[in-house]
Structure 1
Amino acid sequence: MRKTVLLMFLLLAVGVTANAQKFALIDTEYILKNIPAYDRANEELAQASKKWQSEVEKIAEEAKTMYKNYQSQIASLSEVQRGKKEEEIVAKEKSVSDLRRQYFGPEGELYKKRESLMQPIQDDIYDVVKEIATEKGYAVVVDRASASSIIFASPSIDISNEVLARLGYSN
C-alpha cells in the first residue's frame, strides 16, 4: 500500500513538472518570406551567382575552343608544339576549375556573400525569439522549418506572427 501511494505521488509530481514547461513554435520560412530584406538579399545573391556563372562559362568555352582548335591542328603540329598546346589547354581548364571553386566552393564568394547578407537577418530573428521566450517563460522554442519530425502542432503555440510584429513587419 505504501509503495502504491509513493508511486502515485511520484507520477503526480512528474506530471505537474512536465505541464509546467511552456513550449512555442516558430516557422522561419514563413517569417523570412514576410521580410522584404530577405527577398532583396536573395535577389542580390541570384544576380551575383548569375554573373559569376557566366564568367566561368565564358572561360570554359574558351578552353573548349582551344581543345577543338588543337584537335583540328594536331596532324600539322610538332611534338613540342603539341605539348605546349596541351599544357595551355590544361592550364585553361584548371583556371576554370579554380574560378568555379573561388566563386561557388565551400568558402567561396557566394558563401561569403550569403553569410554577409543573411546573417544580420537571422541574428535579428534569433534576438526577437530569445526576447519573447524570456518574457513569456518558454522553455523551448522549436523551428517548424527545421524540425521535420513535427507532424502537428497547435496554432496556439506558434509565435511566428509575434516575431514578425516585433521585427516591424505586420502580417
Structure 2
Amino acid sequence: MYKLLTTVALLVIISNFALAQGNGYGQKIGHFDSEYVLNQLPEYAEKTKELEALAKTYDKEVRSLYDELEKMRAELRANEVLLTPAMIEERKEAIEAKNQEALNKNTELFGFDGLYYKKVEELLTPLRTKVNLAVEVIAKKHGLDYIFDKAESIGMIFSNPVHDYTEFILEEMKAQQKGN
C-alpha cells in the first residue's frame, strides 16, 4: 500500500513538473539518502542494536514453540504403530493446537501490528522525525519544491549528484543538535 501511494505521489510530482516546464518555469527537485543519514547518528546505532536484541529474544520464543511442535511430530511418527486410532487423533489435535499456538505467537511478536513492529515505531519514529525536520529546513533554505529519498523504493533510477542534499541535511541535524 505504501509503495502504491509513493508511486502515485511520484507520478503526480512528475506530471506537475512536466506541466511546469510547459508553462516556462521549473520546479527545483533534490534528493538525499535517509539510510546514510540515519547511519551517521550514534543513537540510531544504539536503537538498531536494541531492536536486534529484541528480535533475537522474540525469535527464540517462536523458535522454541516450533521446536516443541517438531518434537511432538517426531514422537507421533515414532510411536504411531503402538498407538490406537483414538490416541493418534488425540496427538494430532495436540500437534495442531501447538502449531496454532506457534503461529499466534509469531503473529503477536512479528506480525504487521506485532510487538516488534510497535517497538520499531517507538524507537525509530523520533529519529525519522528529526531527519524530516532537517529535510524541511534544507528544502526551504535551498528553494526546493521536492526532495526524494533515495533509500526508499520510489523508482528513482538515476539521480544527478549535483542535486544530492544528504550532506546538507546532516549538517542541519548537527546544527539542530548543538542548538538543543
Q: Which residue of 2 aligns with 1:151?
A: 158
Aligned counterpart for 1:74 among listed residues 73, 80, 87: 80
Post-superposition Cα deviations, 1:105-161, rounded to whole Å, max 9, x if no partner, equal 111122111111111111111111112222332212222223543424133x32212
How many residue pairs end up in the alignment? 155
1:142 counterpart SS class: strand
1:158/1:89 CA distance change after superposition, 3 Å:
same
Q: Which residue of 2 aligns with 1:8?
A: none
2:50 maps to which of 44, 47, 50: 44
Q: Is the 8 A contact 2:138 2:172 kept in 1?
A: no
The residue number in structure 2 matching 1:130 is: 136
SS in 2 for 1:141: strand
Match of 2:16 in 1: none
Task: Check if 1:140 corresponds to 2:146.
Answer: yes
Is 1:23 paired with 2:29? yes
Task: Say if 1:144 and 1:150, in contact at 8 Å, map to a contact too.
Answer: no
Question: C-alpha deviations, 1:54-105, integer Å up to 9, x for none?
Answer: 1111111111111221222222223332222111111111111111111111
Partner of 2:129, secondary structure, is helix
In structure 2, the CA distance between the partners of 1:85 and 1:150, relative to structure 1 (3 Å rule), is closer
Give the 3-state SS of the residue equivalent to 2:113 in structure 1: coil
Aligned counterparts of 1:140 and 1:72: Cα–Cα separation in 2: 65
Partner AA of 1:84 in structure 2: E
Unpaired runs of at least 5, structure 2: 1-21
Name the aligned partner's letter for residue 36 of structure 2: Y
Q: Which of 1 and 2 has greater Rg?
A: 1
Structure 2 residue matching 1:60: 3-state secondary structure:
helix
Q: Is the partner of 2:160 in helix, strand or coil?
A: coil
Deviates more, 1:137-146 or 1:116-125: 137-146
Q: How high is the TM-score relative to the length of structure 2?
A: 0.75
Mark the runs of 5 or more structure 1 residues left unpaired by the alignment. Answer: 1-12
| In the alignment, structure 1 residue 64 sits paired with structure 2 residue 70 | yes
**Map of 1:83 onto structure 2:** 89
Instruction: Tell whether 2:160 aligns with 1:160.
Output: no
Q: Which residue of 2 aligns with 1:97?
A: 103
Residue 5 of structure 2: aligned partner = none
Of stretches 97-106 and 131-140 in structure 1, the one that deviates more from structure 2 is 131-140
